[in-house]
Structure 1
Amino acid sequence: MLAYIGLGSNLNNPKKQIKDALIALNTEADVKVVGLSSLYQSPPIDNTNQPDYINAVCEVHTHLTALELLFVCQNIETAQHRVREKKWGARTIDLDIITYGVQVIASKQLIVPHPEMMNRAFVLVPLAEIEPDFKVPVLGHIQELIEKVDTSTLIKL
């Protein structure tokens, strides 16, 4: 299965946090990172007083189910000392499954495509960098989604 995972960090050396998460993903027996966007810098979503985020999107091939992949992502977050104090709070690492093949999933644990991806330039732009003709299940063509978001604060590193 082909899946895209968004990575983000704004604490404890964010570039290293993303690198470490990618290494951890790639060492999983049933996950292979096959594509990676550039890194992008963006301000916090809620404009709170916290450092800017560093974000990227990776493409993985996996034999895991979507829920199994979610658990792998959560285990990596835990290993990298992710603390969930408040929504959109500062974090060492965040791993979000953006898409999982063409599947549409709406469960208590996981919603795919990611329910906020169409509002996030820091997800859409890196995803389009990897796959410029991508059609997001239910939501449409990636380029059309990008046209609907503000990309002015997104900085490619």
Structure 2
Amino acid sequence: MSVTKRLIASPAVIALGANLGDRRATLLAATRELADAPGVELTAISSVVETPAVRPGGVDHDAPAYLNAVALVTTTLTPDALLDLLGTIEQAHGRVRAERWGDRTLDLDIVDFAGMVSSTERLTLPHPRAAERDFVLKPWLEVDPDAVLPGHGRVADLVEALP
């Protein structure tokens, strides 16, 4: 008797952002690369929104604006393997990690992974600042009106409560 192991796919929410170079082309290419990656199925992509750059001290109107979107995927990858994939895609697009919250050609973040709540040195789930970021919440709500951010509640309620 042969036993076939079936891989279980988990839903994940990925935030995409770029504020350097050809931002729209970079987001499109990154979305394609994510969709083409083994173990990942792209199920939805939001429209693109433009937002000012945010630094630890607040909005920086002198920095180039960001284009942001949210992708929904199902994946057979672990959270760490998905994070590795996102890092590889960022590097392929010239991502340099020189300054926290600095300008970047591409930023890919796991916002949610199957409703998991965890924190390691490499990855905190859900994303620790997602509940405060309209450029994550609004596009996410667009592609999933029933979305819930673990530990924070319905995304629709979070959007409504934004300043």
TM-score (norm 1): 0.93
Q: Give 2:6's aligned residue.
A: none
Larger Rg: 2
TM-score using structure 2 length: 0.89
- The letter of the residue matching 1:71 is D
- Shift >6 Å, 4+ stretches: none
1:115 aligns to what?
Answer: 128
8 Å Cα contact 2:131-2:149 kept in structure 1: no
Distance 1:120 1:101 in 2: 20
RMSD: 0.9
Q: Cα deviations across residues 52-82 of structure 1 (Å, max 9, x unaligned)?
A: 0000000001000001000000010011110
Of 61, 76, 82, the match for 1:63: 76
Matched residue count: 150
Match of 1:101 in 2: 114
Q: Which ranges in structure 1 are unaligned for 5 or more consecutive residues?
A: 151-157
Name 2:3's counterpart in structure 1. none
Q: Indicate the SS of the match to 1:70.
A: helix
Q: Residue in 2 aligned with 1:13? A: 22
Tell me the CA shift for residue 148 of structure 1: 2.4
Give, as a single letter, the amino acid of the residue that structure 2 aligns with 1:18.
L
Deviations 1:18-41 (A, max 9, x none): 001111111111011110100000
SS of alignment partner, residue 109 of structure 1? coil
Match of 1:142 in 2: 155
Cross-structure match for 1:130: 143
Q: How does 1:41-80 map to 2 (within 5 A)?
A: 41-46=50-55, 47-48=59-60, 49-80=62-93
Q: Give me the whole-angstrom Cα distance separating, in 1, the residues matched to 2:146 and 2:159.
A: 12
Percent of aligned pairs sharing the same letter? 36
Q: Which moved more, 1:69-78 or 1:141-150?
A: 141-150
Structure 2 unaligned spans of 5+: 1-9
